[in-house]
Amino acid sequence: NTPRLTCTKRVSLCSLDTPFINHTFFHPHQLYVASNTVMGNKTTLFLLLLLLLFVLSHGVDTTMASNNLFLKRNSKSVVKTDAGEMRVVKSHSGRILDRSMHIGFIDMEPKSLFVPQYLDSNLIIFIRRGETKLGFIYNDELAERLLKIGDLYMIPAGSTFYLVNIGEAQRLQIICAIDPSTNLGLDTFQSFYIGGGPNSRSLLSGFDSIILKTAFNESRTEVEKIFSKELDGPFVYVGDSHAPSLWTKFLQLKKEDKVQHLKKMVQDQDQDQDQDQEEEEEEKEEEEEEKQTSRLWGKLLETVFGKVNGKIENKDTAGSPDSYNLYDKKPDFQNAYGWSKALHGGEYPPLRKPNIGVFHVNLTAGSMLVPHVNPRATEYGIVLRGYGKLQIVFPNGSNAINTKIKQGDVFVVPRYFPFCQIASRDGPLEFFGFSTSARNNKPQFLAGAVSLLKTMLGPELAAAFGVSEDTMRRTVDAQPESVIVPSTWAAPPEDGIIEGAHAA
């Protein structure tokens, strides 16, 4: 009874147009309820029974549990405009997870800006595609960094930052870990937008204008113009084609003129010419004070937009830590079947504060990362490329999940839980992720040439399994490869029975 045969069976069931069989996944209970409504139709009942038998004999594929503790496919959009979107896969610490971490996916169109904001959570970003300019406040200075594909960066909770997609035609894709250890508990995480959040309002617009007037030492009309304006939302275009006229005009200026024009441009918006004249007289008197305001506001805006058209260099870094390129790191383990890398706080100190580690694994087609355990951390993995299989085992030795994984899936492996990943026969499986410890995680392998069983091999271990030491030794020694081993027999094909049925 091969999968291909059963697949054919199901396809033929579908072709009979039974309404319930259009779904790929069934729960026996659902089938029971469904059958009550079609009692009169013997053929349908027969088909349902057949299907029930199929389900019982094959088990319900666990891929249906698309948002359980271990596998998460339901990301939620948290902010979105036509210039970009941020989606988040939430997880909450509970009985099994020692520490929760949310995984965020930020997608930005070419020449767009994720407006200045700060979070109540530490943010570790990984550039999946494209290039970005990250600006953020570091030791009271504005630091900016150019980040490219494979780069990691840590933005501490409470530090104001913005992201610009500086690509002309390239979308920017960022995967991030949101570490809620400093979380306010209001939501999964909370963003405080300095300019133009999801409600199109700056955080500062919540203050009375008298407060802003005093705080910025600026005229009331002036602060109202800046902070009470309806803004464009969390993601805005800064490119020529989509940009509001304000930014288009601005981008055409020479760099040195930009700072001077910044303030003026902000003022000129939404204003009549005559109103402008009145303002100008007032402005002359306040010129000295305004210089200060424009310095603060201007510096921020300048660094956001000032270099969008020009060459970007990594120079105004204000002494902030360097980024770390995960792709440039040498594998910690490598053989003919794949490689694995782990990055800990000893190698990249910015990971220490949020206490987060990073890992990256690439398995060649049909290879398996042998069953292992992380004694120190929970792993949050994201499939970057390919298809494969994930198995996690409960402490009592029963199977917790046995599921296919594919690009974009987020999986969670609790600390101490044994697990393994297998690449499909059709191509490599690449995944990366974050672990809840910045220490060297020292995974313990349960099989392979370097394994816990091998290290422990002796009469005690043999006795525990109730076999002779020789038998034990033969079994433990049979695998010549360690860590990553060939396993074509176990690897699921790229489109197996489930996807096959979908397609039909």
Ligand X SMILES: *[C@@H]1O[C@H](CO)[C@@H](O)[C@H](O)[C@H]1NC(C)=O
Per-residue mark of binding to ligand X, 131-170 (x: CB under 6 A): ----------------------------------------
E-strand ranges in 12-111 read: 71-72, 76-81, 84-89, 102-108
Residues constituting the chain: 504
Residue closer to ligand X by CB (options 115, 175) is 175
DSSP at 355 = T
Q: How far is CA 26 from CA 10, 32, 39, 401, in A?
A: 12, 10, 18, 17
What whole-number distance in Å separates Cα of residue 386 and Cα of residue 363?
A: 10
- Does 219 engage in binding with ligand X (CB under 6 A)? yes
Query: Does residue 406 sit in helix, strand or coil?
Result: strand
- Does 465 engage in binding with ligand X (CB under 6 A)? no
- Does 398 engage in binding with ligand X (CB under 6 A)? yes
- Does 364 engage in binding with ligand X (CB under 6 A)? yes
Q: According to CB under 6 A, which one of 109, 120, 409, 430 is a site residue for ligand X?
A: 430
Angle between helices 42-58 and 3-14 (to 10 degrees): 150
Nearest approach, Cβ of residue 12 and ligand X (Å): 35
DSSP at 120 = S
- Does 121 engage in binding with ligand X (CB under 6 A)? no
Alpha helices for 59-193 (secondary structure H) = none
Q: How far is CA 388 from CA 308, 333, 335, in A?
A: 40, 20, 19
Nearest approach, Cβ of residue 211 and ligand X (Å): 12
Q: According to CB under 6 A, which one of 346, 394, 463, 468 is a site residue for ligand X?
A: 394
What whole-number distance in Å separates Cα of residue 308 and Cα of residue 135?
A: 13
Q: According to CB under 6 A, which one of 1, 310, 396, 503 is a site residue for ligand X?
A: 396
Instruction: Give bridge partners of residue 443 from the DSSP assignment.
Output: none
Phi/psi region, residue 364 (left: phi>0; alpha: psi -120 to 50; beta: rest), is: beta
- Does 62 engage in binding with ligand X (CB under 6 A)? no
- Among residue numbers 287 through 326, which ones bind ligand X (CB under 6 A)? 289
Q: According to CB under 6 A, which one of 107, 120, 151, 218 is a site residue for ligand X?
A: 218
Residue closer to ligand X by CB (options 218, 379) is 218
Rounded to 5, what percent of the chain is helix, strand, coil? Answer: 30, 30, 40
- Among residue numbers 410 through 429, which ones bind ligand X (CB under 6 A)? 428
Number of chain residues interacting with ligand X (CB under 6 A):
12
- Does 362 engage in binding with ligand X (CB under 6 A)? yes
Nearest approach, Cβ of residue 427 and ligand X (Å): 8
Nearest approach, Cβ of residue 321 and ligand X (Å): 24
Q: Are 360 and 432 in contact (CB under 8 A)?
A: yes
Q: Are 444 and 373 in contact (CB under 8 A)?
A: yes
Q: 215: which 2 tokens?
A: 């705080």
Residue closer to ligand X by CB (options 218, 499) is 218
Nearest approach, Cβ of residue 327 and ligand X (Å): 6
Residue closer to ligand X by CB (options 144, 151) is 151
Q: What is the rounded radius of gyration, in angstroms, for the C-alpha atoms of the chain?
A: 28
- Among residue numbers 198 through 217, which ones bind ligand X (CB under 6 A)? 217
The contact set with ligand X (CB under 6 A) reads: 217-219, 286, 289, 362, 364, 394, 396, 398, 428, 430
